[in-house]
Amino acid sequence: MSNRKPATIAVRTGIESDTQHHAVVPPIYLSTNYGFPAFGEVPTYDYTRSGNPNRGLLETALYELESGKGAVVTNCGTSALNLWVSAFLGPEDTIIAPHDCYGGTYRLFNTRAQKGDFKVNFVDQSDEQAFDAALEQKPKLILLETPSNPLVRVVDIAAVCEKAKKVGALVAVDNTFLTPVYQKPLELGADFVIHSTTKYINGHSDVIGGVVITKTEEHAEELAWWGNCIGATGTPFDSYMTLRGIRTLGARMRVHEESSQQILDFLKPQPLVKVIYHPSLPEHPGHEIAKKQQSGFGSMLSFEFAGSFEQLKYFVGELELFSLAESLGGVESLICHPASMTHRAMGEEALAEAGVSQQLLRLSVGLEDAQDLIDDLAQAFEKASAFKG
Ligand SMILES: *Cc1c(COP(=O)(O)O)cnc(C)c1O
């Protein structure tokens, strides 16, 4: 049912599929192995590393949500990225990745490239000249991450895919920040979508998981083979939990976004807020592209704190409804200081190059009441401005 909307796919996938007891919610199958019906007759599922009913349902939900043809659910987002490069890259092949990509992705590609597994070229993908120069190396794969972390920079997916086709490169988009509710990369020309399902897809900060979704059945088969070969696949219990989280994806994404818009309006006139980064703002460099390729602006935002560094630390400490923690996309609101937390491994020079300053704070706006969140920010700003540290 390809014309169904994401919220419907998210709720209905697998409902009433149990033929034994007619359980409305699909049951969980923890068994590691499945009997062969007869000698030489291979069942749909034989061993859980290669396949399992719960993982199968989650894969169906995810590829239908992204309008793909297949998917492989992995044990984390990082292993989804690792599976993808393992399947398609050899020692002579090159991958182009964003210079400001997720820190773990940077570490993974960099480390494997140093071992000679493949070549990697980290490029500022918003710099057209740099990107075109990188394409001349005839890369086999291109990874996009849009919007990026933590400055929510936006890259034109359709434009990159068109250029990629001309040099025969395959494109994957890390769609973790927007989910298929707000962005459908396969419809814009991408060949793969990758998620850390740990974030919005599961949405409750209680499962680590990932997925690679493919535009073609052939790629899905190839990735499934590799997923089994290298042992990257997700567990039945995690799959069950993640599908449970997906049930509310449409409703969650809507409230995340509504609340983040209210918080943006509150932040704009704050004297302790210097620059705000969010694609919904007309002055954001990616605003027009975001309007074109996204159906919502998403709810990850960051801002430069205008006070002293001591005041910033005090502000963060006074917040009651924003937990100081990494990760994002859960029901609970989080605040993160990228320079000392998620991006601390980058080193000062790389941080400066990526535009991540010591004054930058990132918010993952959760599903608490928006006015309560604003009141909490207001009281912490007030205390911080009176603080003489
Ligand atoms: C968290 C994250 C990852 C890595 O996923 P894990 O589930 O933590 O392994 C990759 N890309 C993005 C954009 C992320 O936010």
Three-state SS string over 289-358 comes to: HHHHHCCCCCCEEEEEECCCHHHHHHHHHHCCCCEECCCCCCCCCEEECCCCCCCHHHCHHHHHHHCCCC
Q: Please check whether residues 34 and 131 belong to one and the same domain.
A: yes
**pLDDT string in tens for the chain (389-residue length):** 458 999 999 999 999 999 999 999 999 999 999 999 999 999 999 999 999 999 999 999 999 999 999 999 999 999 999 999 999 999 999 999 998 888 899 999 999 999 999 999 999 988 889 999 999 999 999 999 999 989 999 999 999 999 999 999 999 999 999 999 999 999 999 999 999 999 999 999 999 999 999 999 999 999 999 999 999 999 999 999 999 999 999 999 999 999 999 999 999 999 999 999 999 999 999 999 999 999 999 999 999 999 999 999 999 999 999 999 999 999 999 999 999 998 888 778 888 888 899 999 999 999 999 999 999 999 999 999 999 86
Indicate if 199 belongs to the active site.
Answer: yes
Do 228 and 314 lie in one domain? The reply is no
- Taking the CA of residue 329 as reference, the ligand 1 atom at the shortest distance is 15
Inter-axis angle of helices 309-318 and 370-386, nearest 10: 140
Ligand 1 pocket mutation pick from 75, 78, 183 by most atoms within 8 angstroms of CB: 78
Q: How many CB atoms lie within 10 A of CB 241?
A: 20
Q: Which of the residues 29, 63, 102, 182 is marked catalytic?
A: 102
126 alpha carbon – ligand 1 mean position (Å): 21
Query: For ligand 1, what atom is nearest to the CA of residue 79?
Result: 9
Structural domain ending residue among the three candidates 246, 268, 297: 246
Quick check: is 174 catalytic? yes
Pairwise CA distance, residues 183 & 175, whole Å: 7
Residue 239 and residue 341 share a domain: no
Q: Is 252 a catalytic residue?
A: no
Same domain, 116 and 179: yes
Name 46's Cβ contacts closer than 8 Å, sequence gap at least 6.
Answer: 33, 34, 36
- Ligand 1 midpoint to CA 379 (Å): 32
Note whether 195 and 56 are same-domain residues.
yes
Q: Do 239 and 283 fall into the same domain?
A: no
Instruction: Say what the pLDDT of residue 95 is.
Output: 98
Q: Whose CA is nearest to atom 4 of ligand 1?
A: 77
Which residues have C-beta atoms less than 6 Å from ligand 1? 76-78, 102, 104-105, 145, 149, 174, 176, 196, 198-199, 208, 210
Atom of ligand 1 nearest to the CA of 105: 10
Query: Active site residue: 100, 156, 174, 238, which one?
Result: 174
CATH for 334: 3.90.1150.10
**Is 334 part of any domain?**
yes
Statement to judge: residues 37 and 177 lie in one domain: yes
Q: How far is the CA of 219 from the centre of ligand 1 (A)?
A: 22
Question: What's the 214 CA to ligand 1 centre distance in angstroms?
Answer: 18
Are residue 94 and residue 166 in the same domain, yes or no? yes
1 located within any domain: no
Q: Are residues 10 and 130 in the same domain?
A: yes
Q: Whose CA is nearest to atom 6 of ligand 1?
A: 77
Residue 140 confidence (pLDDT): 98
Do 204 and 321 share a domain, yes or no?
no
**In angstroms, rounded to a whole number, what is the distance separating the alpha carbons of residues 301 and 333?**
12
Sheet containing strand 300-305, edge to edge, reads 273-277, 300-305, 360-364, 334-336, 323-324
Residue 192 lies in a domain: yes
User: How confident is the model at residue 2, as a pLDDT?
Assistant: 59
Domain finish residue from 214, 246, 278? 246
214 falls within a domain: yes
Domain count, the chain: 2
Residues 242 and 254 in one domain: no
Residue 317 lies in a domain: yes
* CB-count exposure of residue 167 (10 Å: 0-12, 13-18, 19+): middle
Where does a domain end: 221, 246, 271?
A: 246
Q: Is residue 55 flagged as an active site residue?
A: no
294 and 239 housed in the same domain:
no
Domain extent, residue 372, equals: 250-386
State the DSSP H helix or E strand holding residue 265, giving kind and residue range, or none if neither. helix 249-267
- The CATH number covering residue 61 comes to 3.40.640.10
pTM of the model: 0.96
The three-point CA angle 152-286-135 to 5° equals 90
Q: Are 48 and 236 in contact (CB under 8 A)?
A: yes
